[in-house]
Every structure is written in C-alpha cells, then in structure tokens.
Structure 1
Amino acid sequence: MKHGIRHHRSRSRLVLLVLLLAAILSASTRIVAHADVTIPNTIRVALFINTGASVSTTLTSSATLQSAGGMNIVWKDPAFSAIVGTAASKQTVRFGLDGYRALLLETPDLNAALAVLKSVQTQSSAAYVTQLNKSGRAVYQVSEGAYTSAAQAATALTKWTIAGIGSGVQSQLSPRIAGPWAIEAGPYASAAEAAAAADVIGNIGLDAFVAMKPMNGAVVYTVRVGQEKDASTLGAMQQAVLAAGVANVILPAPGDPYALIRNDMSLSGTTVVPVSFYAIPASSGVVLRADPAGTEYIQLTERAKQTYRGSMEMSIYNNALAVVNDVNLEHYLYSVVAAEVGAGWPPEGQKAQAVAARSYALASGMAFKIANVVDTTVSQAYAGTGIENKNSTAGVDATKGEVLVNASGKIISALFSSNSGGITADSTEAWGNVDPTYASAAISPDAGPNTGKKMWVRIASAAGLTGYVREDLLVDSGQKNTVGLAQMQVTADNTIIRSKPTTTDGEEIGRLMLGDSVVPLSKVPEMTKAYSWVANFTPEQLQASLSKRDPSIAGPLYSLEVTARGPSGRVTEVKANGVRVNIGYPDNFRSALGGINSTLFQIEETGRMTVLDGQGGTREMPMQAGPLAIIGDGQVQTVSDGNLFIMDGSGQLRAATAKPKFIITGLGWGHGIGMSQWGARGFAEQGYDYQYILLYYYKNVTIEKGAV
C-alpha cells in the first residue's frame, strides 16, 4: 500500500521518525487478529470417491483396513451410532459394495479356489474367495467384480468364461451372475444366533449370510438368503427356508438399509488370511465407520498401505465405494504441509504453508458433498502419517487455528502453486475472472530449484546438430565463423549434446570432442521440474493433445503461436494453423499442450520460415507445401529432413527444421495464482516472517485466529 505524505522541510525528520516507528511497529505488531471465525475440530478427506465427470479422482472396489491397536466397527446412523464389530490388532477388515458380481465357481477345495483367485487377480483388483457353510460343510466361492448392474456383471462373466478361468476346477455351480437380491430371516438377538440360523439355511443348499440392519433406534442381526441378480427366484427361496423351520422370513423392500457380512479368504504371501467383508448396498445411505481402538493409526491397503490418523468412513456414493478419513484438522495439516513443501523448507515457509493450507481446506466447505477435500492435488496433497516430519508439524502447531480472512469475514480459498516462475499470475490469466484476493503479477523469488546449477548453452555444431551443452564445457574462442557468427570451443572430450538442458531428462543426440567449435544460439537455466523447463513435441503429439480439449483442431498441425498474454506474461490465447484454440480457461493450456508445467511459456516453431520461390515470390513454410531447396555457390540442395540454420534480418542465427517441430520453453510449475511455495521459501530464506509472506501473496485479507 502506498501512502501519500506531505513533506514540510521543518518537520521532515519528525515525519521520517514517525514512518520508521510505524514500519517497526507494523512489522512487530502484525499480530494475528482475533475475530468471530470458528475453526472446526475435524475435517473430512475423501481418499476414494466417485465425483462424476467433473473432477477426476481414483476409485476402488474395496477398502482393506487394519490397525496395530485394533479397531471398532461402528454403524453410523443419522439418529444413533453403535459398535457392531471389533478387529483385533492387525486383523484385516474389508468393506465394499454389495452389488453384482461374476460368480465363477464353488468348491470345497480352498487351495483350488485360491489358485483361481490368483489367476483372476492378474486382471482384476475385485477378486474374492468367500466361505459359506452349505450342506454340512465349508465351500468356497470365487467371484469377481463390484458392479452396479446385472448387465455389467454379465459382460464380465462372459469374459471370464471365454478365458476359461476356473475350468480346471470341479465346481458345484455353473458360472452365473450374483447380485444383491435376497430374502431376509430374523431379526436375531445376537450375531451368534444369526450365524446359527445361517448354518441351518445353508444345510438346505442355499447361500446364507449374517447381516445387520437398523431397527427401532438400534442395530439388529438378520440372515440374508441368496445373492440373486433379480427378484424372480425369491418367492421359491422363501418357501424353501420356511419349510426348513426358519421363522420370520420376508422379502425386504428394495432400498432397505443393511450391511451384509461375508467371510472372505485372502492371501498374504502364501498365508491364508480370513477377512470379514462388510458389503454395503447402493442407494441405502448406510455408513460404516472404523475407529482405532487404541492410539495406533489405521492402515489402508488400497492407498499404498499408508496409515492415517482419525477414523475411516465407508459408504456408497454415486454407485461406488467412498472412503472418507474423518480426522482432526491440525493432524490433517501435519501431513498436508509435509507433502506440499517437505522438511527442508525454513520454519517461516512451513508456517506460511500451514496457514494457506488451513484456509484453503476450510474455505472448501463440503465441496465433495460427503467430504470437504480429497487427498490429491485436486484439493491439496495428503498422504497420511508416513510423510509427517517434525519441521512441518512445528509449522502447523505454531499457527494453530490461524486462517486468512477477507473483508467480509469469510475464510478465503488460499490458492497456492509450487512455483510461479518468478512472477505470480493474475487471476484473469488462469480462470478469466478478476479476484482481488490474489497478488497480480507480483515478483516472486522462485529460482531456488536452480540454486547452484549451471546454465546451459543451446548450440549449433559443425555437423548440423543442435542441442544443449552445459556452460562449463564451453569457452568463448574469440573467433567468428565465415558468416561472422561468434564461436565457442569445447573444453572436454566426449562432451554430450542433449535434447534438453539437463543431465537427467535430456536424450543424447551427439557428442563433441575437445577443441570442436560450435555456434551459441541461446543460454538458458538448467531444466528443473519446479522452475525452468523445456518440452519438445511433434505436430502429431500436439494435435492429438489439443483436439481432446478443442475437437475443431484437426491435423495436420502446421503452426502454433502465442497471440495474447496477460499481465504477468502468461499465455491467454494460442492459434493453431491460424485459428484460435478454444480450451475454455487459459490455465487449460497446461493440459491441452501435452501436460506442460505452466502457462508462462514461449513456443518455438522450428519448421516455420518464409522462403523465396523460383519466381521471386515468397512461400510460408510449412503451411504452403512444396520442396525446400538451398542455393549456394551455384549448387542447389534439396532439404527434406534434418536441421537448418537461418540468419534473420537482425543477424541472429536461428535453428530450424525442414519438418515442423515445436519447442515449448517456460518457467514455473502450476497455475501461479496466490502463494508460490518456492517463493515463500525464498522470502523465508531472506529473513521475512510467515505473516509478511502471506500478506505479500494474498491481498485485502487479514490473518485471524479463529476459535477452535
């Protein structure tokens, strides 16, 4: 903020003193305000959720949990909660959809069933062996899938049948579709009574499972009989169960809430592990929760066996299994800050990230209907307890309850990105709208990833190769070539020319020997993922990527040029073959152009040039087709491939190619809106505190400590 000050000669020293004191006070009293902002104790993080087509998130057919301290399984009802099961230390419990499956076989031979299970698991993550008691003995059913329709399961069954899965095992049933349709017996006073009734029903050859359902403010146990694809067989099944002497057998109404408990068998190496599988029907509103019974965390196998603080809630949302981690907000931030900036960030950078992450999470509200956030960068990275470190935890603890609040008293969605490339984006450059919350085109100390790294020289060799050589392998020779271009000399044998300015991601395209002369074309920073980068594309690659966003972009792609930029220099418009690319928001150029890191970029069209034709006219290459020839010393040489070196009107040498190629070079990683994480690190290393950092990147806000 700039202040207008009248300067009176007689009072200048006093004014200067006042200003100095004000600066000192503002720096030392940038104390967190206390406002009427409520900070919740917990946050809901979706680890698996089907959000529909709008947001891409991962799905799973089942959630496999265990805890070294054991777990309590809780039925969570809007009116009550009740413990319905327990798991001992490191005992595995699994949750999934009670939907449609391809039921492949049934055998009394567990080893045979497990062998088939292994075979199915090579092609599917939804393969199961389920134990039932039928006709006085244990049998094992192998099934695949967690489908929401019988048609989907039928397609899968056909695939497995054609593949001959299980054909070597003598099965007691023909492959069929299993589904959630069943009859119900009970209720019973306990799970043991329900299990005894299931054994009676199993003795007449029917599939019977213990189940739970809410009734009169409590959870009761029942037996669900059958796993049918529709209701057509239920009447006859009901009569058979009644004839066996089982009372209170009904046809439950579709949509009735329940949870079926299967006794599944899993493999841990060569060890057979019994698993309680809680199957939840779609569209029933059933929520089951796993609470740690002790102080140990819960492990989720399907998330790389990561462990999590808090509880896990399982439900069916949008016809898919949803797994939500209900966790203390500050504990959630322990992992987020560690995942987002890592242990090496200075303390003030850790604190800045903690306040931004806390604000972003709370401003989201229930953005995902049953969760506030997801665990990926769709929201912000969250990887459970394994990534936590003492520095990030200290940053969270030091700022407990602190958030960024706008003039209306609302917590802001404090957007941040990894690296703004030296200058933050204006909000219009990302999503087209003006937002005064974020600093526009603010200079940011983002070059940290390149600290201590060499510059690279893009060169043209005598053999016609063009690529990158590290600057310390070249010296200025003090000489010029025959056309007057400065030359550099190679200082080491077998110097590699790389396709990109890096030793880790640049392909070798040639070698130079000690004393070789090259012509320097440009000098660039070493390529680092978080700051400077180079991406090489063929026309076919870019056309395929662009057409996914804008189907009107049809090949072949001849030209691709930047035609508009925003206040920070980020690209806001691109034309392909002279036609504006319509990709919606400008930030979509990152995905539309092959997944580049940011929109702070330039495009080099190596195949684009203006040439003279045989009649003295001009031809625009490559838009106007035709052979390309070079005339020199009375000789004509046709060029169909390879590199060309062109002198422009100002005497600058440009590397070109006979066929179109595109080199996109840029700075930064991410959308660039709000706080740059590398910029926050840079400021912290310069001695600025986290409050300064936050108020530099976010405008028209205050830092407030809410009531927790």
Structure 2
Amino acid sequence: MGNWWRTKAGQWGSKGILAAVLATGVLQLPAVTAEAAGTSMDQIRVGLFLDLGSTYKSTTPVVTLSSGQSWSAGVSASSGAPALVSFGANETAKFSVDGFRVKVLSTSDAKTAADAYKKLNATADKPVIFAASTGAGTVYQVYTGMYASLQAANDAAARTAKTAAGQLNGQTPVVTGGNHLSAGTYASEAEAAAAAQQIQAAGADAFVAVQPGGDGGGRYAVWVGEAADASGLAAVRSAVSAKLPAATLSEVDASQPALIIRSDAGSSPGSTAAVKHIVVSGTNAKGWITSSGDQLKVAERSGRTYRGGMEISMVNGQLALVNELPFEQYLYAVVGGEVPSSWPEESLKAQAVAARSYAAFQISSSNNKFKVADVVDTTLSQVYNGVASEAPSVIGAVDATEGEVLLQNGNVVEAVFSSNAGGASADPTEVWNSGGAAFGTVESKEDVAAQNGAKTWYHVLLSNGITGYVREDNVKELGTATAAGLAKVTVTAKNTNVRPLPLIQSNVEPAAQMNPGDTAVVLEQVKESGTYDWVRGPYTSAELVATLKGKTSTAAPSTISTLEVTKRGPSGRAIQIKANGQILDVKYPDMFRSALNGLPSTLFDIVPTGSYTVLSANGTTTKVSGTSDTSVISASGTSSIAGKGTIVMNGDSKARRIEAGEAFLFVGRGNGHGLGLSQWGAKGMADAGYGYQDILKHYYQNVTIVKE
C-alpha cells in the first residue's frame, strides 16, 4: 500500500546499520559463557504443563500418554528410574500426582457416576472417575481436582456439593490428599490387588502402590486411605481397624516415591474406556516415563507426539509435565515449528543456529526462570510442537550446523528473532528498554519476500457509503471513472464478500456483499494484509480504552479523541504514544502491541478515521471530519461523489474514506518485536544467494559462530 498514509514512513528502514553500544545482554540477564553452554547442551528440559504463576501457567489435573511402541513408567532415583509399570504398544494410560482432590461421591450405578461427571465437567472442577473392585461388583468414585492447597480443595468441596447435588444420594464431598496407611507388601501386583479388593469390600479405600526395590525391580504394597492431613489419617486407621481388626496398618513414609495404580473409568463408566491411572506419590517424587520407540503422545497437548521421556512431578501444588530429550533433537521440532520446512536450506540453517543459541542461553543462565524446566513449549521460549513439526530439510539443517552457536566476547548470545522486521530490524530500546551489543537496527529489505504471491485487494466504496476490501480474483474493472478520476469496478460472482480488512477472516462478518452489476469506486489497491504489510481496525475509542486497561502505569483517558505517535526509535518503531495529549506510559515499548488491541508490530502509523488533515500542493492544510459533506479532496480541488462520509485523496490517486465519529486505523509493517533475526528477511536473503553465516552476521552484530 502507498506510503502516503504513513506520516513517518521516511524513517522506516532509512537508518542503515545502527549498532547498539551497550555492554549488558538483552533484558540485562547474566552473561553465559561458551564453556557453560557447551556443558549443558546434551539434554534439554521443556515444560509442557507447569504452574509458575505470572511467569508461565499451563495446567491440567491429568495427562494422558500413549506410544506406538511398548513403554513404561518408573520414579526417578539416584540409581536411575527402573520400570515399575509397563504398557503395551498403543496402550493408553493416565497420570496425575498425589495431592489435594475432592472425592465427590461413590456409587455402584454407572449412570449416576456418568451424570455427575457430565455436570462437573461443565465447571472449573474437572472430574475423574476411578473404578474400584470390591468382589461384589465395581464401585465408581467421582473425584475433582487436583487443587494447589487444602483451602482451595475445601472451597471446591462446597462447590461440587451444589453441582452434583442430584447424584449425591446423601453423600457429602470430602477432601482427600497424599497421606496413606500401608496394609503390607506382596510378591506380585496380582496378590496386592487381591488384598486391596478385600479391604475395598469392607468399605475402605485401598489400592496397589509400587515402589522401587533394592534389586532394581518393583515392590508391591497395599495402601489404605488418602487423607488430607494427619487427623484425617488417624480417622482412617480407626475406621479400618474397627472393620478389619486383624489388619496391620503402618503409616506410609511420605518422603518415599511410589506409583499408585488405579483404574480410570473415563467419562463412560462401565464401558471399555477404562485405563490404568498412575498417581505419582511421595514428597518431591518424579515419575519418569519412557518408550522403547523414544516417542510419547500427550493427548492434552493436542495429541502431539514428542521425542525423549516425560517427567511428572508436583510444582506449586499442581501437576508439572516436562519433556526431556536430546538438545539437537529438540531443535528438529523448534526449527520446523518456527519456519516452513520448504524454505531455502541456508535460511533453515540460520534459524537453527539462532534457535540453538537462544535455547543454550536459557539453559545456562542462572535466572532459572522456569524452575524445573529449561524452556517451555510456547513463544515465551520457542515454538515446540513435537515430531509433527519435523521434516527432512529441517533435520538436515540442524545436523549441518550441529553445536554451532553465536558468541560475542566469549558469551553465548540470547539470539531472539521474530517473524518479519518490516524492512528494518528493531533496536533494543524500541522493544524492552534494554539492549545488547549484538543488536541494533539494520536494513531488512528482504522482508518483502513475505508478499511474494500475495493477492492484491481493492479497497472499494459502495453506493450505500460502505467501504471494504474485495480480492482481485473477484473483481472486474469497468473502464469507467468518477469525476475525480477514481476507477469503478464490479464483481464476477454472486454474494461476493466485501471484507473489513484486506484478508479473509472466517470469524469476522463481511462489511457487505456485492453481486455482478453492482458498482463500486476504487479508493486504492493494496497487498493482502500479512506479516509484511498490514492494516488493523478501525478501533473505536471504547475498544482501545478497554484493551489499554491495566497496561499503563497511569490510567488512560476514559474517552480517546486523539491518538498519535509522538516519538519513534532508530528503526521507526513507536516508542511513545499520546492519547488526548497524555503519554501512555507502558512498561516497555513493545507492550504497545498488546495495549492497542493486539497489533502485529510497533512499526505503524495511526490514521484517525473521524478526521484527517490534508496537505495540499500549495502547502495549506484542510481539516476534514466525518461530518463534512461527501467529497473528494485533492491537490487540484474538490469533486463531488455519491455516498456517505468524506473521501480524502492524494496526488497519486489513492483515497481513503473518513467515517463519522472517532475511530483509529493502524497501518503498519512487520510481525513481532523485530529484534535480531527476521525470519522472512533470512528467507529473502537465502533466496538471493546469501549463506547462513552471512545472514546471521547481518542481523546480529559483532558476533562469531562457534561449534561447541
């Protein structure tokens, strides 16, 4: 689209190479030496589910695992993690940790359990149904949770009593926990299961637990009760002793790791859906799951399959799932998840080195951001979607650069990257108010590669005053024009959608529809909104006030009548914005993206659609508002045109409609923070014949590429 709409367009991409001369690393994290990185790059730990509060939060009470090959579960110990429970190829099992839950009800009626499950599943108290054999039949036990604290579990018990009131039949939901009694050890799982069944028949909860044995195998025990605290455990002992006076009960040492083996009836008790449900028990216990095929599927992560093993533990009272695998194999999925595998080999190699450096920095830095994990599987670290993202071309690029990282002054560079720099990479001061000597604004003209093959869209004005965009393959030019010289078009198919933005958004209603024979005036032609060029909005004052809430240190105006970029950084990115003359004081400049309704980048101009100042050829300005008569303003004068609102036109015959009322249109370039490697820029440079080292040294200044 034309630069006329970008009042600061001349600053974008015009600075050339501008290195930031700052001594600290990006975000001012501690330096990571090459030696430190080299000792840490054999394995990597990726957090899939983890509750770290504001740092990272992705939780689930249960994870469902399977593998195409035989697989097993054990608990981590100083001597390793011998298999304690084995599973066949394609067998599914569920896993959780031994914490606070709510036992909502027990019933021998499968329908009652299923009805309770259905009601609870519609709430935040997610249910699970355990099936226990009593000899006389099966009892279905409906639980919810887990919960991070005893108080949270008590609150949940009160909620579930109301939710499942129709299925309780006089029962009261009770809080359970990780305190157990042992009724003895047995030579086999079958013997332990038979003993547990006898205790269940007497009306007490009992289940098989397996602990590591001294011979590297498992030692089976029957555990009784699941109390939330010591007083609850004493009550369990008293009740069981009264019914089974011959039973010998001892308190289980909570520090000893074990796997509790239960039966999970799924959402359809009584069906064939029952699977083993393994509960990891013990203070600081870590369950360890591996497959002979070295691949495990996680149902709760969209059914993705991952290389390596899975560790299950409890962090902050919630289940934590960490995927541990060889570092280089992790990169197979990361590179394939970050960029298309069809891209040129040299761009894939550049991405591999950048991703390796970024991960190595996180592994070796002392901030321990993700506690039990080195990285997480989202863009907080790098996109990691498992083996589905792998491809031969990606694996080849990772293998060809094996061990290579970016160094500066002997330290590993935190080699951040983004999708598209929009023609100029960002300076650190435009992103996080901090910087590093490896980063600075450089020209990134090859970012335009993102537009190759993109459709052209016609920005049109309909006879009823509505404006929108129609894609080129649906447009037929009529060869006629308005008095102001604007072309007229029609469409080639019935019910052609006129889109509010120049892209197809399936979840957004079209602005209008056209049929063959309907005519519209062409205001301008633009490329499809993508990662290079984009348009967002127009957003009303109310929409922007809502999205700004909580993102500025002082309250934003209750109504926004003016919004303008008042200061830009070296690459042209917005670093200061005023609303009604008041500075919007966000924590760091890149936060403007989320504060202004999720903009792709901060390399933008703001076009107020309620009013506009037009500069004429002789230097005079004219203030045009949406309440003005319908007209076209050009350097040569004013011409009338049918329709509502005001049309502002420049000397290049590009026009824009001004709506009545205040609203704000954002027109920009780029996608992401823009710091470091531009992925589309790397693709464009590779297309032009540049090698991966040339690409990396363009986007990261004063660096060397070293094989560790």
Contact 1:47 1:325 in 2 (8 A): yes
Q: Shift of the alpha carbon at 1:52?
A: 1.2
Comparing 57-66 with 125-134, which one deviates more in the overlay? Answer: 125-134
1:286 corresponds in structure 2 to 285
Pairwise mapping of residues 335-346 of structure 1 onto structure 2 (< 5 A)? 335-346=333-344
- Is residue 705 of structure 1 aligned with residue 703 of structure 2? no
| Structure 1 alignment gaps of length 5 or more | 1-33, 612-617, 633-640
CA distance in 1, matches of 2:559, 2:136: 69
Counterpart AA for 2:234: G
CA distance in 2, matches of 1:543, 1:298: 45
Q: Shift of the alpha carbon at 1:565?
A: 0.7
Comparing 178-187 with 695-704, which one deviates more in the overlay? Answer: 178-187
1:333 corresponds in structure 2 to 331
CA distance in 2, matches of 1:652, 1:678: 28
Contact 2:457 2:469 in 1 (8 A): yes
1:320 corresponds in structure 2 to 318
Distance 1:217 1:530, change over 3 A: farther
2:577 corresponds in structure 1 to 574
3-state secondary structure, aligned to 1:381:
coil
Q: Shift of the alpha carbon at 1:85?
A: 1.5
Distance 1:647 1:362, change over 3 A: closer
User: Could you tell me which of 566, 588, 592 is aligned with 2:591?
Assistant: 588
> Structure 1, residues 434-485: CA drift from partner, whole Å, max 9, x if none?
222124232241122321334445455665444445578587979773xxx4
Q: Shift of the alpha carbon at 1:648?
A: 9.6
> Structure 1, residues 258-282: CA drift from partner, whole Å, max 9, x if none?
5433222225899523322222358
2:692 corresponds in structure 1 to 690
3-state secondary structure, aligned to 2:196:
helix
3-state secondary structure, aligned to 1:591:
helix
Distance 1:273 1:609, change over 3 A: closer
3-state secondary structure, aligned to 1:681:
helix
Select the structure of larger CA radius of gyration: 1
> Structure 1, residues 338-358: CA drift from partner, whole Å, max 9, x if none?
111122211111111111111
1:12 corresponds in structure 2 to none
CA distance in 1, matches of 2:96, 2:135: 27
Contact 1:104 1:166 in 2 (8 A): no
1:502 corresponds in structure 2 to 503
1:377 corresponds in structure 2 to 379
- Is residue 73 of structure 1 aligned with residue 76 of structure 2? no
1:357 corresponds in structure 2 to 355
Counterpart AA for 1:559: T
Pairwise mapping of residues 10-159 of structure 1 onto structure 2 (< 5 A)? 37-38=38-39, 40-55=41-56, 57-78=57-78, 80-110=80-110, 112-123=112-123, 126-134=126-134, 137-159=137-159
Q: Shift of the alpha carbon at 1:119?
A: 4.5
3-state secondary structure, aligned to 2:382:
coil
Q: Shift of the alpha carbon at 1:316?
A: 0.6
Q: Shift of the alpha carbon at 1:117?
A: 3.1
Distance 1:438 1:519, change over 3 A: same
> Structure 1, residues 162-203: CA drift from partner, whole Å, max 9, x if none?
344552x868x5443333343334455554454344334334
CA distance in 2, matches of 1:315, 1:330: 25
CA distance in 2, matches of 1:450, 1:198: 66
Q: Shift of the alpha carbon at 1:256?
A: 6.1
> Structure 1, residues 64-86: CA drift from partner, whole Å, max 9, x if none?
11112121212102565332221
Distance 1:199 1:577, change over 3 A: same
CA distance in 2, matches of 1:254, 1:548: 43
> Structure 1, residues 608-662: CA drift from partner, whole Å, max 9, x if none?
4589xxxxxx99999xxxx967699xxxxxxxx9623468999997632321111
> Structure 1, residues 405-436: CA drift from partner, whole Å, max 9, x if none?
122x2221111111111211111110111222
CA distance in 1, matches of 2:336, 2:270: 36
2:205 corresponds in structure 1 to 207
Distance 1:630 1:678, change over 3 A: closer
CA distance in 1, matches of 2:35, 2:106: 64
Comparing 601-610 with 115-124, which one deviates more in the overlay? Answer: 115-124
Contact 1:99 1:146 in 2 (8 A): yes
Contact 1:124 1:144 in 2 (8 A): no
User: Could you tell me which of 662, 665, 671 is aligned with 1:663?
Assistant: 665
Contact 1:147 1:153 in 2 (8 A): yes
Distance 1:399 1:619, change over 3 A: closer
Distance 1:530 1:114, change over 3 A: farther
Counterpart AA for 1:394: G
3-state secondary structure, aligned to 1:544:
helix
> Structure 1, residues 546-580: CA drift from partner, whole Å, max 9, x if none?
11312601422222111111111111111112111
Counterpart AA for 2:595: A
Distance 1:192 1:463, change over 3 A: closer
Pairwise mapping of residues 262-661 of structure 1 onto structure 2 (< 5 A)? 262-266=262-266, 271-280=271-280, 284-292=283-291, 294-295=292-293, 297-365=295-363, 366-407=368-409, 409-460=410-461, 463-468=464-469, 473=475, 481=483, 485-490=484-489, 497-503=498-504, 507-509=510-512, 511=514, 518=521, 520=523, 522-529=524-531, 531-550=533-552, 552-608=555-611, 643-645=645-647, 655-661=657-663
Contact 2:547 2:596 in 1 (8 A): yes
Counterpart AA for 2:414: S
Counterpart AA for 1:291: T
3-state secondary structure, aligned to 2:348:
helix
Contact 1:281 1:316 in 2 (8 A): no
Q: Shift of the alpha carbon at 1:131?
A: 2.2
Q: Shift of the alpha carbon at 1:146?
A: 1.2
Contact 1:535 1:596 in 2 (8 A): no
CA distance in 2, matches of 1:647, 1:296: 63
Distance 1:653 1:338, change over 3 A: closer
3-state secondary structure, aligned to 1:266:
coil
CA distance in 2, matches of 1:118, 1:194: 33
3-state secondary structure, aligned to 2:236:
helix
3-state secondary structure, aligned to 1:308:
strand
1:226 corresponds in structure 2 to 225
3-state secondary structure, aligned to 1:364:
helix
Contact 2:84 2:211 in 1 (8 A): no
CA distance in 2, matches of 1:142, 1:356: 48
Higher relative contact order (CA closer than 8 Å, sequence separation 6+): 2
Distance 1:349 1:646, change over 3 A: closer
3-state secondary structure, aligned to 1:276:
strand
3-state secondary structure, aligned to 2:443:
coil
Q: Shift of the alpha carbon at 1:114?
A: 3.9
3-state secondary structure, aligned to 2:422:
coil
- Is residue 677 of structure 1 aligned with residue 668 of structure 2? no
Distance 1:487 1:659, change over 3 A: same
Distance 1:82 1:462, change over 3 A: closer
CA distance in 2, matches of 1:642, 1:82: 76
1:6 corresponds in structure 2 to none
Distance 1:186 1:164, change over 3 A: closer
| Structure 2 alignment gaps of length 5 or more | 1-33, 615-620, 632-642
Matched length: 645
CA distance in 2, matches of 1:471, 1:226: 69
Contact 1:490 1:514 in 2 (8 A): no
Distance 1:500 1:137, change over 3 A: closer
CA distance in 1, matches of 2:89, 2:650: 74
CA distance in 2, matches of 1:650, 1:88: 70
TM-score of the superposed pair, with normalisation by structure 2: 0.81
Q: Shift of the alpha carbon at 1:369?
A: 1.6
